[in-house]
Amino acid sequence: MSSVTIRTDPGALGPPAPERARIIRTALLIRAVEERLLELFAEGTLSGTVHTCIGQEFSAAVIGDHLREGDAVFSNHRCHGHYLAATGDVLGLIAEVMGRSAGTCGGRGGSQHLCREGFLSTGILGGCLPIAAGTALAGKLRGDDRIAVAFIGDGTLGEGVLYEVLNIAALWRLPILFVLEDNGYAQSTQQPEVLAGDIVARASAFGVETASANTWQWEHLWHTAGQAVEHVRAGAPFFLKVSTYRLRAHSKGDDDRSEEEVARFEEHDPLNRIVASDEPGVAGMVADVRRVVDSATADARRSPNPLPHPEIDDDPPLRLRAVRLDGPRFVDSLHEALAAGMRANPDTILLGEDIKAPYGGAFKVTRGLSDDHPDKVLNTPISEAAITGIGTGLAMCGMRSFVEIMFGDFMTLATDQLVNQASKIAFLRGPGADPVDVVVRTPMGGRRGYGPTHSQTLDRLFVGTPGLRVVASNSLVDPGSLIAALCRGGHGPTVFLENKLLYGRRLGETVPHGFTLELSEEDFPVARVSAGGRADVTLVGYGGMADYLLAAADLLFTEHDVLAQVLCPTQIYPLRWRRLLDVLTAGRGVVVAEEGPGFAGFGSELLAQLVEEAGALPARRVVPKETPIPAAKELERDVFPEPGDIVLAALEVVGES
């Protein structure tokens, strides 16, 4: 049997008549739409999946009745009711699930992924919670009374990101309402099997105000929800547990519950009882919502299928110009660019662990910035997933957010927020939508003796994710210019990699004598170092490998009379590599050197595409040994490529021993 119990309270405080009628109609509409979706699925009109909230409608209808224009609602895979209560957009929902152009996201998101102004749902449990917190933070920073509402299920109680967000919401007193819909099951697993302790106590432990209600006493739920929303508008988070029951399967038809259990809840379902009653006006509401659903379904059927994605010419010609770098230290350039960006745009926010004065971040990039911008430079808990998602929420509200992850190895903890959340929002919003300008900065790379979990280069986790830009700074391009471009906005979610060895170096100091540095004319340029544009071999790399390639080019010239050109893109994804074709093939072969693992890495992809386009070309990869990175200096040195390794590979390519 389910852990859910049914309680009645005849004396519950209820809404006035107009609000009562409005709530009942919304609940009826939600049920009618979802029943139609199940019918459409049964007839083969829908593909994918359909997660209905039939039986739970009063949770969405009641909460929605307390919201104002400008409030933001976030949901999960069981989102239809929340969407309809927040927007009333019947056609958009039905057409979206049908995969038609009239859909909320033009058919791109389907049943689980809905995105429009003031609403976002995704299919990862807990994935929206940090984004909701970021939206709440944006409202607080701007001083308005808008709130964020985050609907979650009891299954989300197993996700760690929930507790990261509860902690931050309490610390920063964010105007966010957590609504936990407790239907007693996580898909097919009964709650007692997977959940320990008390649900409400979890939120209370963070100092968050809490309350409990249920959908069978929906009038009392309305009263409780009103108090919760008022509390949040006053400037503090609230956690509302709503006990309820799902009358249909988790998704379509996967239901292992007994018929007797479901029938018992069908009998006590508040909407069923209202429809069966002789309450004035209900029959008219039922007929009205059916007309609305019939009309929306007909319009959705007439809506065309979405057009294929247009081909985008992403290969503008490569225009190189000679430059001379005699600039500041790498870390100083980053610092000054962030300071300038904050002065130019008051909506620029920095988030990270230990980034405020006096510490200023592990590598001192943000030193002193909190003195000038005390409300815009925020120390965060050690909660990489939460702070990354908060940055996304801020960016969705039009702010410029820069999130610092202390070590690149910790990016694994933020991967969901980048790969499954931030990178998908612009896609769901559709062509022409404002970009989500969240930037996640992090140092990567080894050679400093930090050991296996503080020395990795993990860009491969993000390179290849559509909608996510990956920029790897190097010593040949002023990193301040890259940050300045990101401060201007328009580039979307970006992972910004900073090699640890670069922070103390001066820009351009490793360019060999007699070689010229050229940069392409764009926000995230390609750097080429050559001797008058001539080359016997092309050395390619990015990030911290640039200096090792330059050292190898110097050795090749002075000791072997071989001219090498060095090519270092700063934007390593998307890599517009076709425009580099003439440069890559200028010599007798190519050597790609990396600090990260070689298998299925950047070099493999570059050479594979080069072969596809240009045919056979002598090539070698120089990569670290396949082992975790040791802390001992001699062992670590043995793992990473050195200039001599690159020289040997280049000599093999040009046919010399």
Distances (CA, A) of 342 to 2, 374, 487, 496, 625: 53, 11, 8, 18, 42
Mean pLDDT over each residue of the chain, to the nearest integer? 94
pLDDT of residue 311: 64
Can the peptide bond before residue 358 be classed as cis, meaning omega within 30 degrees of 0? yes
CA distance 226 to 205: 23
Residues 6+ apart with CB under 8 A from 480: 333, 334, 336, 337
Helix residue ranges, H only, 104-247: 129-142, 160-172, 191-194, 199-204, 218-233
| Res. 303: pLDDT tops 60 | yes
Token pair 């110009």 is found at: 321
CA distance 54 to 80: 10
| Res. 620: pLDDT tops 50 | yes
Exposure letters 39-56 (e unless 16+ CB within 10 A, then b): ebbeeeebeebbbbbbbb
pLDDT of residue 8: 46
CA distance 350 to 342: 9
CA distance 23 to 160: 34
pLDDT of residue 13: 75
| Res. 7: pLDDT tops 90 | no
Reported residue count of the chain is: 657
pLDDT of residue 313: 60
Residues 6+ apart with CB under 8 A from 305: 99, 100, 101, 107
Contacts 24+ apart (CB under 8 A), 271-280: 271/27, 271/28, 271/31, 271/55, 271/57, 271/58, 274/24, 275/28
pLDDT tens column, 189-221: 888 888 899 999 999 999 999 999 999 999 999
- The closest of 227, 224, 257, 260 to 241, measured between CA atoms, is 224
pLDDT of residue 3: 43
Catalytic entry in 82, 231, 335, 454: 454
pLDDT tens column, 468-523: 999 999 999 999 999 999 999 999 999 999 999 999 999 988 899 999 999 999 99
454 in catalytic set: yes
pLDDT tens column, 406-438: 999 999 999 999 999 999 999 999 988 999 999
Structure tokens at 428: 């769901």
Higher pLDDT, 248 or 149: 149
12: confidence class by pLDDT, cuts 50, 70, 90:
low
| Res. 457: pLDDT tops 70 | yes
310: confidence class by pLDDT, cuts 50, 70, 90:
low
CA distance 10 to 270: 13
| Res. 11: pLDDT tops 60 | no
Q: What is the DSSP letter of 417?
A: I
| Cα dihedral 131, 137, 138, 141 in deg (nearest 10) | -170
Range with lowest mean pLDDT among 311-320, 404-413, 456-465, 606-615:
311-320
Q: What is the pTM of this model?
A: 0.95
pLDDT tens column, 112-128: 999 999 999 999 999 99
Helix, strand and coil percent figures for the chain, each rounded to 5: 40, 15, 40
